[in-house]
Structure 1
Amino acid sequence: MPEQTRSTVTSPSSTSRATSPGRLPIGTTRGSVAVVGGYVVPVASEPIADATVLVEDGVVTAVGTDVVVPDGVRVVDARGRWVLPGFVEAHAHMGVWEEAQGWAGEDANEMTSPDGSALRAIDAVNVEDEGFRDALVGGVTSAVVKPGSGNPIGGRTVALKTWGGRTVDEQVIRHDVSVKSALGENPKRVYGERKQLPSTRLGVAAVIRKAFVDAQTYAARRDAAAAAGEPFERDLGKETLAAVLAGELAWDQHTHRADDIATALRLADEFGYRLVVNHGTDAASIADVLAERDVPVIFGPMFTARSKVELRDRAIENLGVLARAGVRVAITTDHPVVPINFLVHQASLAVKEGLDRDTALRALTVNPAQFLGLDDRIGSLTPGLDGDVVVWSGDPLDVTSRAEHVFVTGTEVYTWDADARGGLGAGRVRERGERFDA
C-alpha cells in the first residue's frame, strides 16, 4: 500500500513506553499514526468516507474528514480501504490451550477440584502461542482469555492485547474481567467419570450455589473484621466470588442447552451477579426471556460439528434470531476450537444466515467490550480509546478481504505482504522489540 510521510517518520523503536498500567500495559510500545483517506467504520458511530483516524501516543485522538495531522506523524494511505477498530475475541483460550503442543500446552482446566475460584488464567498464558499471531492475521487485537469448562467454577479471566510484550503482563488490558463457570455436560462428564460430586446437572448447580453462600458468609465476616480493626485470614477463592457478588467481576457462564441457560438465570437471580451467557447454542429458543432480562450472549463457535448431545440444535442462523429478539450478542471462536483468525468469517456467515451486518460488526467490537466492562479502552474508534486500528483491503465481511495493516496502540504489528506466498504466512508480524518501519 502506498505510504506518505510528513516531516520525519516515527518508528516504533523510538516511541515512548507506557508508565501507567491503568492506561496501557507496562512495556507496550505506544505509537503515533494517521490512517488517511479510508472508509472509516468507528462502529460506535456512523461510517465516514474519505476520513482520517489519528492515533497519538497509543490513543485515538481524532476521527473525521477534517483532521489535521501533526508534523512527524507517520501517514498511511488508506484510500480504497476500510478502516475499523481491532476486533475483540470475547472468549478464547490462546496461551492456556496452546496449538501443536499437546499435553505440555494444555493448562486451561485444573480438574482436581470442582471449585477453581482461586485460579487465574493469566498464570498459564504463554504469549509465544501461535494463536496470538493468528489473531493479528484476522484483525483481532484484543482477547479475553478464559479457563476451560471442565469445572463448575473455572477461575478468573484476563483481557489481553494480542501483541505487545515478552511476557503476558506486558499485554494485559485488565487483569480481572470475569469468572468462568460451566454448566451442562462438561463438568458432569469430568466428575461423573470419577463417581464424585458433581456427576449430574443438579450437582453442578449445587457446587456453584454452595460456593456463593460461603462467599456471602466470608464477605460479611471480612467486612465486620475490617470495621472492628481485627485481623482476618484471607481466602483467595472466596475473595473472587465476593468480587462477583459485589459486581466487580462478570460471571461468564458456559452453557449450551436452554434448560442450562434457565439454571444460569436462576442462579443469577439468587445471588444478583452480572451474568454473561457464553456459547448459548440453544439460546434462540428462549431469546425473548434473555432480551427481557438484558442478558447478553457470546455466541459460538459456529464452525464446528455437533460433537456432543448439547450441540444438537447448533445453527448459525440462531445468532440472527437472538439479535432480532433484542438480545445483545457477541461472536466467539472459542479458540483453538475454531482458529481465532476465522472470527470475522463466522460473522460473515452469520450475515448470510440473517444477522444484520451492522449488528455483526458490533458483535466483533463494541458489544464484547461492553459486556465485559472493557469499552473504556477498546471496541470502537473513539477519541480517548486505545489506538487499535485495522486497515482492510475491503469490507471485512467479504470473505475475500484481508487485514493489510494492523496497529495495536498505534504501533504497526502486522502487515500483509502482497509479494509473499503461503496463505496465512504471507504477512509480517512485528517481533517483540523489532524495528518495523514497513
Structure 2
Amino acid sequence: MTEPTIAFTGATILPIDGDRIDDGVVIIEGGRIAAVGGSGTPIPAGAEIRDVSGKWIVPGLVDAHVHLGTSEEGEGWAGNDTNEMTEPVTAHVRALDAINPADLGFGDAVASGVLAVNVNPGSGNPIGGQTVAIKTVGRTVDEMAMRTPSGLKSALGENPKRVYGEQKKTPSTRLGTAAVIRGAFVDAQNYQAKLAAAEPGKPVDRDLKLEALSRVLNREIPWRQHCHRADDIATAMRIAEEFGYELVLDHGTEAHLLADIIAEKGIPVIIGPLMVSRTKVEVRNRSIANPGKLAAAGVTIAITTDHPVVPIGNLIHQAALAVKEGLDRDEAMRALTITPATIMGVADRIGSLTPGKDADFCVWSGDPLDLYSRVEVAYVEGAEVYRHESAA
C-alpha cells in the first residue's frame, strides 16, 4: 500500500537548515520530507491536508549521549546493563546487545520530542564498548538502529579510577587510566600490522577488542571520550593526537576553561547533564551557563541529559535554561538536532527538515523553548507514533 502524501499547513516551522518560517508548509511523501516552505508552497494534487495553524513543527530532537534501554527505569539491578566492569578494556561489548525497547524511558523520550538517541555504555571502564545510534520507536533494537557502531566509549577521570582502585587493580590513578588506553591502541596497531603481514589465504586469529579499536584508528568511528575536568580534557586531546583518531568530548563540564583550544582543534563537545547537583569533585564547575560560553568561543556543541542521570524529558528544558544563561536560541536548537545527528553520523537522515530526509518531526503546541509548550503529535518516517490527549 502506497503511503499518502500529507501537507501540514499554517504552522511556524523550524527547519534548522534555514530560517524560521511563519505560516509554513511541510509536505511528506513516502515517509520522507518532500518539501518545506512558506504558505505559497505548491501542494501536490490529492495530498491530505492537515491544518496545524498556531502550532510549531520541529525536527525530532536528538540526544547524543544516553543510557536509554540499558539502564532501565523502575527495574533496578535487573535492568542495569550499562557497564561490563570485569576488566578495564571491553571494546568488544556493544550497547546494541543490551537495549530493551520496552524501557519506560522510550515512551518519555517520544512524548518530549526526542526521536533519536545515541546509546553509550557506561563510564566505569577506561574503554567501555561500542555505542549505537537509534530511533526511539520500534519493537526491536535492530529495526530502531541507524548506525552501529556509531562510536567507541572511553572514560577518563574519577569513574575508572574508583572502580578499579577499589578492586586493587590497574588503573587506580589517572596516569594508569591513560596507560591502559595507550596500551590498548598499541595492541590494535600491532594487530593491524599482523593482518597486513599475513600470507594471502592464511587465516589470522580474530580479536574482537582489537577489531573495534582498529575502527577508531582507521577513523571509521569516533572515540567518545567521557571527561569532565580540564586536565582530563587535555589528556583526551593529547592521546587523540598521538594516535590520530576522531575525538568527541562527552560531558565537558570544564571544557569552557579550554574553549579556545577545543575550538581551534574542531573537537565537538556533547555537554551535560546540566540539571544535576555537584555530586563529585570533577563536576564542581557544572553550570547552565557553560554551553553559551563554549558556543561563543566557536566550539561545536550538543546538549545531553545523560539519561537517566537527567530524565530524557528534560532535554528541551536544559536547552531553554542554557538560552536563559546566554546561549543563542538558534544555536540551542541546533545543539538538540543537527549537531548531535552529525556527531552520531546520521545527519543524512535526521536532524533537520531537509527534503529527502526521514519525516521525523513533532507538532508542538508552541515554541519548544517555552516551558508551557508540549509535543502534541510525533511522527517517525511519516507515521504517527504519539498523540497527546489534548491534541485535536
The CA deviation string for residues 227-261 of structure 1, in whole angstroms up to 9 with x for no partner, is: 73321221111111100011110111000000000
The residue that corresponds to 2:275 in the other structure is 303
The residue that corresponds to 2:299 in the other structure is 327
**Structure 2 unaligned residues grouped into runs of 5+:** none
Distance 1:73 1:201 in 2: 60
SS at match of 1:228: coil
Larger CA deviation: 47-56 vs 234-243:
47-56
SS at match of 2:133: strand
Shift of the alpha carbon at 1:366?
Answer: 0.6
The residue that corresponds to 1:196 in the other structure is 169
Distance 2:43 2:115 in 1: 24
Distance 1:220 1:55 in 2: 49
TM-score w.r.t. the length of structure 2 is: 0.97
Aligned partner letter, 1:385: K
The alignment status of 1:219 with 2:192, answered yes or no, reads yes
The residue that corresponds to 2:390 in the other structure is 418
> Contact 1:54/1:67 (CA < 8 Å) preserved in 2?
no
Distance 1:72 1:130 in 2: 39
The residue that corresponds to 2:368 in the other structure is 396
The CA deviation string for residues 132-180 of structure 1, in whole angstroms up to 9 with x for no partner, is: 10001110100001100000101111111111x3211111111210001
Distance 2:59 2:130 in 1: 26
The alignment status of 1:82 with 2:40, answered yes or no, reads no
SS at match of 2:257: helix
> Contact 2:66/2:306 (CA < 8 Å) preserved in 1?
yes
Question: Structure 1 residues 58, 38: CA separation in 2 closer, same or farther (over 3 Å shift)?
Answer: same
The residue that corresponds to 1:147 in the other structure is 121
The alignment status of 1:247 with 2:219, answered yes or no, reads yes
Shift of the alpha carbon at 1:217?
Answer: 1.1
Distance 2:191 2:222 in 1: 19
The CA deviation string for residues 192-244 of structure 1, in whole angstroms up to 9 with x for no partner, is: 0011000000111111100011111111221333x733212211111111000
Distance 2:6 2:379 in 1: 9
Match of 2:208 among 232, 236, 239: 236
The residue that corresponds to 1:180 in the other structure is 153
Shift of the alpha carbon at 1:417?
Answer: 1.2
Shift of the alpha carbon at 1:32?
Answer: 4.9
The CA deviation string for residues 395-429 of structure 1, in whole angstroms up to 9 with x for no partner, is: 1011111111110111111111128xxxxxxxxxx
Aligned partner letter, 2:69: G
Distance 1:73 1:336 in 2: 41
The residue that corresponds to 1:39 in the other structure is 12
Distance 1:262 1:161 in 2: 33
The CA deviation string for residues 273-310 of structure 1, in whole angstroms up to 9 with x for no partner, is: 11000000011111111011111100000111001111
Distance 2:113 2:48 in 1: 20
Q: Identical aligned pairs, as a percentage?
A: 57
Distance 1:261 1:352 in 2: 26
The residue that corresponds to 1:49 in the other structure is 22
Match of 1:340 among 293, 299, 312: 312
The CA deviation string for residues 60-92 of structure 1, in whole angstroms up to 9 with x for no partner, is: 111112433345544322211111100001001
The residue that corresponds to 1:113 in the other structure is 87
Aligned partner letter, 1:47: R
The alignment status of 1:171 with 2:148, answered yes or no, reads no
The alignment status of 1:292 with 2:264, answered yes or no, reads yes
Aligned partner letter, 2:377: H
The alignment status of 1:260 with 2:225, answered yes or no, reads no
The alignment status of 1:356 with 2:328, answered yes or no, reads yes
> Contact 1:86/1:140 (CA < 8 Å) preserved in 2?
yes
> Contact 2:147/2:345 (CA < 8 Å) preserved in 1?
no
The CA deviation string for residues 328-360 of structure 1, in whole angstroms up to 9 with x for no partner, is: 000000000011011000000000001010100
Distance 2:313 2:136 in 1: 12
SS at match of 2:115: strand
Aligned partner letter, 1:51: G
Aligned partner letter, 1:128: A
Match of 2:108 among 131, 134, 145: 134
Aligned partner letter, 1:96: T
1:3-82 equivalence runs, <5 A: 32-65=5-38, 66-71=40-45, 73-82=47-56
Aligned alpha-carbon RMSD (Å): 1.4
Aligned partner letter, 1:370: T
Aligned partner letter, 1:335: H
Distance 2:149 2:249 in 1: 18
SS at match of 1:269: helix
The alignment status of 1:207 with 2:207, answered yes or no, reads no
Larger CA deviation: 98-107 vs 53-62:
53-62
> Contact 1:188/1:201 (CA < 8 Å) preserved in 2?
yes
Aligned partner letter, 1:192: G
Shift of the alpha carbon at 1:323?
Answer: 0.4
Aligned partner letter, 1:208: I
SS at match of 1:60: strand
The residue that corresponds to 1:22 in the other structure is none
> Contact 2:6/2:47 (CA < 8 Å) preserved in 1?
yes
> How many residues are aligned here?
391
Distance 1:320 1:68 in 2: 39
Shift of the alpha carbon at 1:59?
Answer: 1.1
Shift of the alpha carbon at 1:319?
Answer: 0.9
Shift of the alpha carbon at 1:15?
Answer: 6.1
TM-score w.r.t. the length of structure 1 is: 0.87
Match of 1:124 among 98, 110, 126: 98
SS at match of 2:149: coil
Question: Structure 1 residues 88, 213: CA separation in 2 closer, same or farther (over 3 Å shift)?
Answer: same
